[in-house]
Amino acid sequence: SQKIEQNSEALNIQEGKTATLTCNYTNYSPAYLQWYRQDPGRGPVFLLLIRENEKEKRKERLKVTFDTTLKQSLFHITASQPADSATYLCAPTTGFQKLVFGTGTRLLVSP
């Protein structure tokens, strides 16, 4: 069955550093990989989508890579700020019918 792994331990970094979050998946081949941000008590917010034929995608301070050989995506936030503190969810997706999410990684950026 599909399995998605994100680091369940919180990632603590200092303001201004680059945060790197990992998403590993097994037993399927997603056509897309999405990243969402979720704040406590709120619904997830879509951040970025990368397609299987794309190696890297950027949006402002965010960068996502997608390695279909390693079955892994890396999510980077450069020049991190305390406002970036949240839980980040990855969703390797095969189609449009549903999203399957990882458990999420909590990011804490301290001033």
16 to 45, contacts with another protein by CB under 8 A? 32, 34, 36, 41-45
Which residue among 2, 81, 103, 110 contacts another protein (CB under 8 A)?
Answer: 103
Calpha distance 111→55 (Å, rounded)? 32
Q: How far is CA 12 from CA 3, 24, 84, in A?
A: 25, 20, 11
Calpha distance 62→24 (Å, rounded)? 18
Q: Which is nearer to another protein, 15 or 56 (CB)?
A: 56
Least distance to another protein from the beta carbon of 70, Å? 21
Residues in a beta bridge with 26 = 3
Counting contacts by CB under 8 A, is residue 101 touching another protein?
A: yes
Q: Which range binds another protein by CB under 8 A, 53-61, 63-71, 72-80, 91-99? A: 91-99
* Strand positions, DSSP E, 1-111: 3-6, 11-14, 19-26, 32-38, 45-51, 56-59, 62-67, 72-77, 86-93, 105-110
Q: Which is nearer to another protein, 23 or 77 (CB)?
A: 23
Q: Among all chains, which residue has been given the structure tokens 């390693």?
A: 70
The number of residues that bind another protein (CB under 8 A) is 25
Contacts with another protein, residue ranges (CB under 8 A): 4, 8, 32, 34, 36, 41-46, 49, 89, 91, 93, 95-104
